[in-house]
């Protein structure tokens, strides 16, 4: 069967005849808005890579004072053994997370949780902020004098960071909005390095 053709006919009356102009256009099929990206269904386990955006009140990381949606901060307390070797005697930790957005080819997906496992690793804080290190020690009921023999590390997930998030998709509303949530204790949210594919189904 011939495809539908729209004809626009313009007639121009002239002495002794008529000129007819004919334009034809073939109807184009609808485009897939996200070619090559799997369809995400409700309660599907997926890993999605995107750019972090703040959707509420951000956190401020304790040691580096960075605006972020998640931080994990550590103070490693050492003591000298036999006048030479340094031995780790304690580790102080603080962690927090708030829900955030993930900009993707599917739109903004909400990572809806306040706990997540991490593939990412903390790194030494540089430049050091001594006043914040002292406050961190005080918060954990430790002497400020320990700052000289303590090392500080921190991980933060900041706005504009490119990360992957694994979780259970909840698809709601019309048009559809997607949230990523933990699936009980057996499948927490997992934040990690970007994946090559924007969406991976499990």
Kindly report the number of other CB atoms within 10 A of residue 47's CB atom.
Answer: 18
Q: What percent of the chain has pLDDT over 90?
A: 72
- Rg of the chain taking only CA atoms, in angstroms: 29
Look at residues 180, 8, 37 and name the one whose alpha carbon lies nearest to residue 101. Answer: 180
Contact 163, 2 (CB under 8 A): no
Q: Is the pLDDT of residue 120 over 50?
A: yes
Look at residues 114, 107, 102 and name the one whose alpha carbon lies nearest to residue 182. Answer: 114
pLDDT band at 35 (very low <50, low <70, confident <90, very high): low
State which H helix or E strand residue 17 sits in. Answer: strand 17-26
Give 140 or 86, the one with higher predicted confidence. 140
pLDDT of residue 65: 98
pLDDT of residue 37: 82
Query: How far is the CA of 183 from the CAs of 9, 70, 73, 151, 166, in angstroms?
Result: 61, 20, 26, 36, 10
Q: Is the pLDDT of residue 121 over 70?
A: yes
Average pLDDT over residues 29-41: 66
- Alpha carbon distance 153, 168 (integer Å): 31
Mind listing the pLDDT tens digit for each residue in 52-108?
Answer: 999 999 999 999 999 999 999 999 999 877 766 688 999 999 999 999 999 999 999
Contact 151, 89 (CB under 8 A): no
Token pair belonging to 115: 């706990």
Look at residues 33, 62, 50 and name the one whose alpha carbon lies nearest to residue 155. Answer: 62
């Amino acid at each position: 069967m011939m495809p539908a053709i729209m004809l626009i006919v313009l007639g121009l009356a002239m002495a002794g005849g008529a000129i007819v102009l004919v334009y034809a256009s073939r109807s184009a099929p609808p485009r897939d808005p996200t070619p090559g990206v799997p369809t995400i269904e409700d309660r599907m386990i997926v890993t999605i890579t995107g750019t972090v955006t703040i959707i509420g009140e951000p956190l401020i990381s304790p040691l580096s004072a960075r605006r972020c949606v998640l931080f994990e901060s550590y103070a490693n307390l050492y003591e000298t053994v036999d006048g030479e070797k340094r031995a780790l005697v304690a580790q102080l930790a603080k962690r927090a997370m708030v829900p955030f957005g993930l900009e993707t080819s599917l739109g903004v997906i909400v990572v809806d949780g306040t706990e997540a496992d991490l593939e990412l690793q903390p790194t030494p804080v540089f430049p050091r902020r001594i006043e914040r290190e002292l406050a961190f020690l005080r918060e954990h009921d430790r002497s400020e004098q320990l700052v000289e023999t303590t090392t500080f590390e921190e991980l933060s997930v900041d706005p504009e960071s490119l990360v992957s998030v694994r979780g259970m998709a909840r698809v709601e509303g019309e048009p559809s909005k997607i949230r990523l949530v933990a699936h009980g204790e057996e499948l927490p949210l997992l934040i990690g390095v970007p994946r090559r594919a924007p969406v991976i189904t499990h």
